[in-house]
Amino acid sequence: MTVLQVERLSVALGGRPVLHDVGLSVDAGEFVGLLGPNGAGKTTLIRAVLALIRISSGRVLVDGRPSRPGRSPIGYVPQRHEFAWDFPISVENTVMTGRNGRIGVFRRPAVGDWTAVGDALERVGMSDLRHRPVGELSGGQRQRVLVARALALQPSALLLDEPFTGLDMPTQELLNQLFLELSVEGKAVLMTTHDLLGAMESCTRLALLNRTVVADAPPDELLDRGPWMRTFGVGENSPLLKILKAV
């Protein structure tokens, strides 16, 4: 079943075209890697899916319905620098903010909300730190809190924006295994990443993006140099293409 559907999407920011005629779908149980150079529009596409920016044309459907900010069943893990870690709030309450759209304004969390938060913290191995201020956490712990915050919504789709940046290898492996498990359990997972080799080894499908989708296929069907050269704007002798030989 298709959870996330992007149809003929175009976006302009400040009058400048950023995305053009993007088509992309993510089914339940898929772990899709979104790859492209800096400035290709990866983060813009994520924000368009979340309905956080105006689109010029096209549409985004989540579970068959138009995406709505804070209302659609989408868990979002932003890049770590986008969160205010100096805000005086505990790990547990940070994860609860992931349910704000579901709870509503001026309403207190119910038992079910706290259960969802507890389950999310357990899933990322942070239950024992639930009362610690987020400002005291390490980089890897902060990333796990952001993942728990997204999972607390109990979403059908999970969007990850460069989730491994700046993390040590054990934390990367822990999170990558979690994302694989979530996809196997039926979540639709879409991840932007610069880790090309890691994406080719872990993702069920890769979408190469440079303002539009240049190629979209399982990793073992993307071993030809052409789509990678067009996406990243590199020549035949680029070190980037050595990755294809390593797979």
Domain ranges of the chain: 2-73+155-246, 84-154
- Which of the four pLDDT bands, split at 50, 70 and 90, describes residue 246? low
Looking at the chain, the whole-number percentage of residues with pLDDT higher than 90 is: 71
Higher-confidence position of 166 and 37: 37
Give the span between the Cα atoms of 107 and 92, in whole angstroms: 17
Distances 74 to 50, 162, 202 between C-alpha atoms, Å: 8, 17, 21
How is domain 2-73+155-246 classified at the CATH fold level?
A: Rossmann fold (3.40.50)
pTM: 0.92
Of the candidates 60, 50, 56, the one whose C-alpha atom is nearest the C-alpha of residue 23 is 60
**75 three-class SS:** strand
Rounded Cα distance, 35 and 40, in Å: 9
Asked whether the beta carbons of 183 and 70 are under 8 A apart, the reply is no
Residue 130 CA from chain centroid, whole number:
23
Q: In the predicted model, what is the mean pLDDT of residues 140-161?
A: 94
Q: pLDDT at position 83, please?
A: 80
Neighbours of 110 (CB within 10 A): 11
Query: Is residue 235 predicted with pLDDT exceeding 70?
Result: yes
CB < 8 Å & 24+ apart, contacts of 222-227? 223/247
Average pLDDT of the residues in 94-102: 85
Q: pLDDT, tens digit, for every residue of 42-89?
A: 999 999 999 999 999 999 999 999 998 877 889 999 988 778 888 889
- Whether the per-residue pLDDT at 20 is higher than 70: the answer is yes
* pLDDT tens-digit map of 164-220: 988 888 889 999 999 999 999 999 999 999 888 889 999 999 999 999 999 999 999
pLDDT of residue 122 exceeding 80: yes
pLDDT at 102 over 80: no
Higher-confidence residue: 238 or 81? 238
Q: Residue 166's pLDDT is what?
A: 86
Could you tell me the pLDDT band of residue 247, with boundaries at 50, 70 and 90?
Answer: low
